[in-house]
Amino acid sequence: MNLDFFKPKAPPLFGLDISSSSVKMVEIVEAGKGTHRVDRYVIEPLARHFTVYVPDLVGQGMSERPDRPYRARALASSIADFQRAVGIRGCDVIGNSLGGYLSMLLALDDPGAIARLVNLHSPAVPMPRFYALRTAMSLPFAERVLATAVRQDLRTWIQRNVHYYDESLKSIEELDVYGAPLATPDGLHAFARILRETMDPSDFGDFEDRLESRRARREAFPIPLVLLYAERDPMVPPSVGTRLHALVPDAELVWLPRASHFAHVDAVERFLPPTLAFLGVE
């Protein structure tokens, strides 16, 4: 995994030895880009209180694209592999989009991996569009069609498929950051595998069933969890947040007005207060 590491500027609150129990750490996990350049809006305020790690998921951003399974639970376990490699097992995690879903999977499989989880507007349940995507990506020529659509005008494709609440906030720099992984054959192939494997609706269905079974047994989610969902979003309907909260009633659900799927980018002033409060920052 590619990693960006941000050491806080408040030495009395943090030690240099990342294995020390006195060090508070937060990991930002998300999908599809070079995270540090897009997440820069929240890294500085978070780094006043935490040592911040910002990894790109396997196959995405600046990470390598290995020939390995890209199913959801396999990618979730790669987050745990990363934690062990850098010595931050048991840290707090902020997971955006696919990163929130994968982090919830990791918490179910290995509760000791994460202390507390902020899930920012993740997909979580099978939706009709996921079944349509699976059908489309199963076609033998699907990857060639995807490559043609993306590379015809990469910036325009990103502009149309990455949605902010306020579209005027997008910059050419951010379009290029989002698009860089898709500009190479191996990056595009990894993206196709994520669409085909990680986004498989059967995995979302299994996840939903696991949560439903826990609820039926009156079994709480393994770790403290807050769900932050924007009140509108064309990528992941807000109804997903409502459904996820029904499946995990012990979690806190916070609605973010005037925000999008990427509230940590376009609604920082509304994203940070509930996030920091949940993570124990007064």
Rounded CA gap, 9 and 91, in Å?
A: 19
Does a structural domain hold residue 176? no
pLDDT of residue 1: 47
Residue 256 lies in a domain: yes
Angle between helices 40-47 and 268-278 (to 10 degrees): 40
Q: What is the DSSP string of 49-78?
A: TSEEEEEBPTTSTTS---SS--SHHHHHHH
Distances (CA, A) of 138 to 81, 98, 117: 30, 21, 33
Radius of gyration of the chain (CA): 18
Return the structure tokens found at 123: 């997909």
Instruction: List per-residue pLDDT tens for the chain, 282 residues long.
Output: 444 444 443 322 222 222 222 345 677 776 655 555 556 788 889 989 999 888 888 888 777 888 888 999 999 999 999 999 989 999 999 999 999 999 999 999 999 999 999 999 999 999 999 999 999 999 999 999 999 999 889 999 988 888 888 888 788 888 888 888 888 899 999 999 999 999 999 999 999 999 999 999 999 999 999 999 999 888 899 999 999 999 999 999 999 999 998 899 889 999 999 999 999 997
Q: Is 34 contained in some domain?
A: yes
| CATH number of the domain to which 216 belongs | 3.40.50.1820
Q: Which two tokens stand for residue 275?
A: 């996030």
Per the structure block, which two tokens stand in for 18? 């990342």
Size (the chain), residues: 282
pLDDT of residue 229: 97
Question: What is the C-alpha to C-alpha distance for residues 199 and 179, in angstroms, rounded to an integer?
Answer: 19
Q: Kindly write down the DSSP assignment for every residue of 123-169, as one continuous string.
A: --S--HHHHHHHHHHTSTTHHHHHHHHHHHSHHHHHHHHS--SSGGG
The pLDDT of residue 76 is 94
- Domain ranges, residue 209: 3-127+201-278
Looking at the structure of the chain, the number of domains it has is 1
